[in-house]
């Protein structure tokens, strides 16, 4: 028998220099990534701060508008109350004048002041309705085939394979 030596396993991976170069590249990538994340986070925080300031300014402006509106409502309500009280006074004076005039008219009146006439007229452009007339039903026609004409034509009849 022939004996051969056992196969020799030799590791032929990257060298220490290649591993060190890859580690240096990874360190550079991680530093660049961290710097990029920091600049992005700073820009994002600046946008958030700017939006918060804008929201606070808008809220303050809305609060000022609401306060001005509410004070305007109060003055409008006061004006409306004054107008209503003036209207009430005017209505009371009118009622007193009407009752005095009615009392003097009733004393002197012998006929009624209103005349009532009734007449039935037909308007010029009156729209009227008419009863619905039922539709006339047509006779339903059915398909009729003459017996004599069917057998006389070519291609008519049964085609039965034997």
Which of 133 and 2 is assigned the larger pLDDT? 133
| CA pair distance 82, 97, nearest whole angstrom | 23
Q: Tens digits of per-residue pLDDT, 90-120?
A: 888 888 888 777 766 665 554 555 666 777 7
Do residues 150 and 156 lie in contact, with contact meaning Cβ atoms separated by under 8 Å?
yes
Residue 155 is predicted with a pLDDT of 61
Q: What average pLDDT does range 135-147 have in this prediction?
A: 69
Q: Tens digits of per-residue pLDDT, 34-90?
A: 999 999 999 999 999 999 999 999 999 999 888 888 777 767 777 778 888 888 888
Residue 56 is predicted with a pLDDT of 94
**Is 13's pLDDT higher than 60?**
yes
pTM over 0.85, yes/no: no
The full DSSP string for 88-146 is HHHHHHHHHHHHHHHHHHHHH--S-S----------TT-----PPPPPPPPPPP-----
| CA pair distance 29, 22, nearest whole angstrom | 10
**Is 138's pLDDT higher than 70?**
yes
Spatial neighbors of 57 by CB under 8 A, at least 6 apart, are none
Six-digit token string for 46: 């600046």
Residue 43 is predicted with a pLDDT of 94
Six-digit token string for 129: 């309705």
Residue 68 is predicted with a pLDDT of 82
Residue 122 is predicted with a pLDDT of 75
Q: What 3-state class would DSSP assign to 6?
A: coil
Do residues 124 and 118 lie in contact, with contact meaning Cβ atoms separated by under 8 Å?
no
Six-digit token string for 97: 């004048």
């Amino acid at each position: 028998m022939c004996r051969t030596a056992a196969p020799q396993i030799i590791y032929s991976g990257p060298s220490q220099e290649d591993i060190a170069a890859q580690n240096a590249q990874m360190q550079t990538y991680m530093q660049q990534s961290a710097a990029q994340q920091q600049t992005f986070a700073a820009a994002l925080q600046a946008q958030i701060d700017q939006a918060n300031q804008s929201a606070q300014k808008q809220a303050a402006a809305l609060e000022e508008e609401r306060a001005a509106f509410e004070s305007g409502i109060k003055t409008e309500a006061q004006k409306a109350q004054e107008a209503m009280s003036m209207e009430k006074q005017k209505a009371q004076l009118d009622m007193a004048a009407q009752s005095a005039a009615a009392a003097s008219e009733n004393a002197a009146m012998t006929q009624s002041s209103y005349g009532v006439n009734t007449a039935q007229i037909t308007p010029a452009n009156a729209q009227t309705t008419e009863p619905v007339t039922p539709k006339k039903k047509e006779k339903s026609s059915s398909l009729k085939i003459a017996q004599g004409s069917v057998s006389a034509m070519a291609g008519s009849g049964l085609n039965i394979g034997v």
